[in-house]
Structure 1
């Protein structure tokens, strides 16, 4: 069947396509990369003109694996780029292992050319490690935000879907790459083309840099109770220095007993138990994603002593913090 499509008029179309350089890190997330590249491909198709071109680079210039295990053929090694290129680093799981000295040196060198440089998914970590996000706003996947905040104090981390701060861009991962690409396409060639690309992607709700990457508290917990949501939000924002249930209850205008009943009814656990689970979840993220000592992890999650932290951790995860980290090291060495 012959393909029929409407060609979209574009703004600022030049004779030379704008080149996007995707630097793929080992175990990069396929969804964030594919979402970005497909958006560019569709923009070319809808304009019936090559507005964008792209190349894939990585250490060694041979092949590289995504987190799903599929290997990709690279177009080249970490070579010299052009000032007009847009460089997007694609991260994924275990990004700290993929952030090598060679990659960091290359990023610092290329950044001096003044090009737009971005990190998709967890690659904000790589940019921050290279010192390229100091004094900038950025975002990263919510699962990595705790460890990122602990390690990079000079970066203003947000919870946005994507962030553009000068010539630095970062995304939270997943489909947020689409939102960033639509923003760039609109900036380069107009809103009409960006909307046409979104239609082709069956992407009915285009997000901006003002949108949060995570679902609201009521949606996440499946309960729409304003005071319960408010208390949980306060808990999530006060992990290092936990607030007592009595203070939480007072702050939302109820008694401690009423708060207890509320948690039991909707979440089948006490406020104290729920708060502990939040703190232990953050502790596990820090243990697996950073080199912080167990003592510092304990302090960052509101535990007064390592022994108390270890006891609570073992009761919840059936292992100690030290064994958790040791088991991860063993898995990574295989």
Structure 2
């Protein structure tokens, strides 16, 4: 078995869960093998201490420049959190030199998005958290965005974050040190593989027992800019419109229209927060035919206007933000959905 050297570039407010999920399999592999198969180092952009999303301060081993210069690393993992940082031109240049030198480069959480925006996943697949997917697909059309927990292959890999990093690292151990050791590591960590796409909308039991419902939601998610009618949705999956309405009410306790508008508003929020596109463009991208109606509908659901959302203003404490699909006023839902379908 060969020793591997792994560097972790920690970005501000990085995910501690993602970071420790990457470290633990490496340490367990060393313990099980009773030899130092993995040596790992931490770095920040400037070598200064950095704060994780949990508030814990971490003192790195090196700055990224020192790490690259002093350690012949095999792999570099960019660890982000829930906010996407902008990589400086100097940092991008250093990462490019690493990649050109044969270093395997990957990211986790918002680290994946930062790398993708810098062009490191062009022409390749990368796994991101659902809330980043819409923005990334628009900004980097050459990136094949996937909602799988992680992707591997070649000199690039990616992980959406959290405990999925545990599985990614066990897979890398299998590739680098053999399946037997990887299995021992998985058993020591009491880990069972589950390569499932992220599902924040449907509980797994419902997803398994109601495949038609899952298909309809997938259609909704891929048709936000030009919403499909309920008749069209029902027809695509081979059921009646009435049956479509029944299964939404039974399993999600809302109407299909309310569910659809919730998806569109959530997508709009990400575009407002993560891009500088004009509000009218955001409205159109999410199926609204006028900025005025979009603003009215957005405020009714989020208790904040699109303009204020973009400016980062806080939602008033007395205004509890609607968290369920059914919390959106019915009149706004109907008007929004009906207006969007006038284009057909």
TM-score (norm: length of structure 2): 0.84
Check conservation: 1:218, 1:225, Cα contact below 8 A.
no
**Where in structure 2 are the equivalents of 1:259-278 lying within 5 Å?**
259-278=244-263
Check conservation: 2:207, 2:213, Cα contact below 8 A.
no
Taking the aligned partners of 2:210 and 2:74, their CA distance within structure 1 comes to: 49
**Where in structure 2 are the equivalents of 1:183-198 lying within 5 Å?**
183-198=171-186
Give yes or no for the alignment of 1:100 onto 2:85: no
Check conservation: 1:105, 1:130, Cα contact below 8 A.
no
Equivalent position of 1:10 in the other structure: none
Check conservation: 2:108, 2:160, Cα contact below 8 A.
yes
Equivalent position of 2:76 in the other structure: 87
Equivalent position of 2:268 in the other structure: 283
Q: 1:281 to 1:216 in 2, by over 3 A?
A: closer
Find the residue that maps to 1:284 and give its secondary structure. Answer: helix
Which of 220, 234, 243 is matched with 1:249 structurally? 234
Q: 1:265 to 1:223 in 2, by over 3 A?
A: farther
Q: What's the offset of the Cα at 1:122? A: 1.8
Equivalent position of 1:145 in the other structure: 133
Equivalent position of 1:46 in the other structure: 32
Taking the aligned partners of 1:299 and 1:306, their CA distance within structure 2 comes to: 8
Provide Cα deviations, 1:151-179, integer angstroms capped at 9, x if missing partner: 11111112222112320111111111111
Check conservation: 1:59, 1:78, Cα contact below 8 A.
yes
Q: Which deviates more, 104-113 or 17-26? A: 104-113
Find the residue that maps to 2:133 and give its secondary structure. Answer: helix
Provide Cα deviations, 1:216-274, integer angstroms capped at 9, x if missing partner: 84528679334333322221221122101121223333433343333333333221111
Equivalent position of 1:4 in the other structure: none
Equivalent position of 1:30 in the other structure: 16
Equivalent position of 1:58 in the other structure: 44
Equivalent position of 2:107 in the other structure: 119
Give yes or no for the alignment of 1:168 onto 2:138: no
Taking the aligned partners of 2:242 and 2:172, their CA distance within structure 1 comes to: 52
Q: What's the offset of the Cα at 1:289? A: 2.5
CA RMSD of aligned residues (A): 2.3
* Structure 1: runs of 5 or more not aligned: 1-12
Check conservation: 2:117, 2:136, Cα contact below 8 A.
no
**Where in structure 2 are the equivalents of 1:225-236 lying within 5 Å?**
225-236=210-221
Find the residue that maps to 1:327 and give its secondary structure. Answer: coil
Equivalent position of 1:206 in the other structure: 193
Check conservation: 1:288, 1:328, Cα contact below 8 A.
no
Q: What's the offset of the Cα at 1:51? A: 0.5
Q: Which deviates more, 232-241 or 216-225? A: 216-225
Runs of 4+ that moved beyond 4 A: 81-84, 220-223
TM-score (norm: length of structure 1): 0.86
Taking the aligned partners of 2:135 and 2:142, their CA distance within structure 1 comes to: 14
Q: What's the offset of the Cα at 1:45? A: 0.6
